[in-house]
Amino acid sequence: METKNVLGSIALALGVMSATATFAETKLSMATSWGGGPPMETGAKGFAEMAKFLTMMIEMPWLAGILVAAPFAAVMSTMDSFLLMISSSIVRDIYQKKYPDASAQRIKSVTYWTTIIVGIFAMLAAMNPPRYLQDLIIFTGGGLSTTFLAPMALSLYWKRMNASGAISGMVAGFLYHGLAYLVGTQLTGQFSAYYLAGFDPFVPGSIISLMTCIVVARLTQPPSDAIVIKFFYRKKKSN
């Protein structure tokens, strides 16, 4: 049963990596096969041109508005979630710890003003974004996936997984991801990743993280029976 859980975790991690690699390969082939299509610009303008080109090809230009609206809706949803998360973190982790007896009305007022102030700062920053913002987004997204995917999958499906294995896997994945970008930057002279055997750093980094988790967890003390029972067994309901 334990072997099946390990294999299930490995299959889950490999499935995510395969989907990511396939998606990246599809994007690359699309970018290199446009021919007489729209210019491959970056940002919102490039996507708008692509949506216009695709909808004109199928003679349904009215679909362009829907295609363009979808990513903007996703961006708005993400931004308001981060805005609420930041403001609630400031209020709960800073203000309420300093003023534990504050009334509900006072906390509500502080939350409103914190959200407004953080939103103004975010709007001002968006008016003059950093030069390498997209590169930073790709770097952080890939780094988070490489660092946490394998430890999280094994923690959910493998009873032998322990804290040492999880920490080691996270460190290994993070170090490989950072090293790949360091080598790529040194070779190209700009902020970019080194593609080992043509793969995005996410793929080999996740494999290294997965193997590190398994090896270290096997070599160190297993989790206590209480933890295993709590998270992997259900109590039988008495009739």
CB-count burial class (<10 Å; 0-12, 13-18, 19+) for 158: buried
Out of 64-73, 82-91, 118-127, 201-210, least confident range: 64-73
- Other CB atoms within a 10 A radius of the CB of residue 193 amount to 22
Computed over its alpha carbons, how large is the radius of gyration of the chain?
23
Q: Residue 71: pLDDT band by 50, 70, 90 thresholds?
A: confident
Highest mean pLDDT among 3-7, 27-31, 76-80, 160-164: 160-164
CB 143 within 8 A of CB 178: yes
With tokens 């599809």, the residue in question is 26
Percent of the chain having pLDDT more than 70?
70
For residue 30, pLDDT beyond 50 = no
Q: Which of 81-85, 145-149, 151-155, 203-207 has the lowest mean pLDDT?
A: 81-85
N residues, the chain:
239
Residue among 15, 17, 9, 63 nearest 200 (CA): 17
pTM: predicted TM-score of the whole model, two decimal places: 0.55
Cβ atoms of 68 and 53 closer than 8 Å: no
| Model confidence band, residue 72 (pLDDT cutoffs 50, 70, 90) | confident
Tell me the per-residue pLDDT of 123-177, one tens digit each, with 9 for 90 and over: 887 777 666 677 777 888 888 889 999 999 998 888 889 999 999 999 999 999 9
Give the pLDDT confidence score for residue 98 in this predicted structure.
Answer: 86
User: Mean pLDDT for the chain?
Assistant: 77
| Average of per-residue pLDDT across 200-222 | 92
**Running DSSP on this structure, what letter comes out for residue 36?**
T
Neighbours of 122 (CB within 10 A): 13
pLDDT of the residue at 209: 94
The yes-or-no verdict on residue 216 having pLDDT over 90 is: yes
- Of residues 7, 51, 17, the one with CA closest to residue 146: 17
